[in-house]
Amino acid sequence: MIKDWPEHERPREKLLHQGANSLSDAELLAIFLRTGVKGCHVVDLARQLLQQFGSISAIFAADRFSFCQKQGLGLAKFVQLQACLEMSKRYLAEQLPEQTALTSSVATRNYLIAELRAEHNEFFAALLLDSQHQIIGFERLFSGTLDSATIYPRVVVELALKQQAAAVILCHNHPSGVAEPSVADQQITQRLIDALRLIEVKVLDHIIVAQHQSYSFAEHGKL
């Protein structure tokens, strides 16, 4: 029983005294689970789940059926986890700076990573900004296997005009986990820069999300 452990080893007490970043993945998951199952305390259950899924990210990305069929989980915990994930996304969105350029912003990257890292398919999206680089909105535009034939500049241009955007940050994810841009990624970026330039909308960056990693076209001088 965890209540019989020394206080400094119990996940909740450890978090309160040392901070959340001092906890292992299993200890964080144990706090979320709250209780174990018969013959298995909650920390061991958390370790088993991490081994079965492979990582915390994989648990977050699991569909309802895959999640609920595991011992110690279920529909209530699936709903609770989805609510926690959505709150995290909204928190990160609120942390985006409102008055400064966002090309190298850690907050922007964290927000885009939270939005796209768990997706199994590729998504192409745009973060729309006004003339002061305040955020207007975030829109997912295309999905599937993305190449120069499946990204339509006209759609991006129409969105920018509709939202009266003055600048955009383009983004898409690589489910493979490799953040480096392909030749097709570079071609798509240039086509969109050229198309948006015609309506005087500036592309500030194109960020590729690959799980917890990201790649910035602007920081690598590719814009």
Q: Are residues 52 and 121 in the same domain?
A: no
Mean pLDDT split into 10-residue runs, the chain, 223 residues? 67 87 87 83 87 84 87 87 84 60 64 81 90 86 70 93 94 89 91 96 93 88 88
Q: Are residues 33 and 101 in the same domain?
A: no
Domain membership of residue 66 (yes or no) is yes
Q: Are residues 131 and 206 in the same domain?
A: yes
> What is the model's pLDDT at position 103?
45
> What is the model's pLDDT at position 189?
94
Total number of domains constituting the chain: 2
Domain membership of residue 222 (yes or no) is no
210 within 8 A of 179, measured Cβ to Cβ: yes
Q: Are residues 41 and 129 in the same domain?
A: no
> What is the model's pLDDT at position 144?
77
Q: Are residues 68 and 152 in the same domain?
A: no
Q: Which of 41, 66, 90 is the last residue of a domain?
A: 90
Residue-range definition of the domain harbouring residue 153:
96-216
> What is the model's pLDDT at position 191?
94
> What is the model's pLDDT at position 149?
47
Q: Which of 63, 90, 117 is the last residue of a domain?
A: 90
pTM above 0.85, yes or no: no
Domain membership of residue 178 (yes or no) is yes
156 within 8 A of 195, measured Cβ to Cβ: yes
Q: Are residues 80 and 100 in the same domain?
A: no
Domain membership of residue 72 (yes or no) is yes
